[in-house]
Amino acid sequence: MFGLAGRRLAEGVVALFALLGFAFVPLGKKTALEHTLDIFTTPAARSAWLELGSATQRLKERLIATVLPAKAAEDTLEPVGAKPQIPALPGKKHVH
């Protein structure tokens, strides 16, 4: 009857009311938003976030260490058609 636009509008209105209820309707002495903030600002939650951050940093460093050596090796490859660079023997001059 309303089509896709009407359905999306109705879903948006429902979501807006849910968000307003979450932020402004008290559940006991506090709203759901205030309860959520209390939970996520405990020392245990802060510690968990710090540990998650350090684990993410270690993962990032491992990924970079895995990918960059391969990238560095690709960068050292000679372009197609280039003359190979042959190192000179000690005591001898290198002639092309």
pLDDT per residue over 44-94, tens digit each?
999 999 999 999 999 999 999 888 876 655 665 656 666 666 666 666 555
Range of the domain at 56: 13-75
Tell whether 69 is covered by a domain.
yes
Count of domains forming the chain: 1
Angle at which helix 32-40 crosses helix 3-24, to 10 degrees, equals: 70
Please tell me the pTM assigned to this model: 0.50
Tell whether 1 is covered by a domain.
no
Tell whether 19 is covered by a domain.
yes
Q: 């690709």: which residue's tokens?
A: 74
What average pLDDT does this structure show over 35-49? 95
DSSP secondary structure, 34-79, as one string: HHHHHHHTSHHHHHHHHHHHHHHHHHHHHHHHHHHHHHHHHHHSPP
Tell whether 42 is covered by a domain.
yes
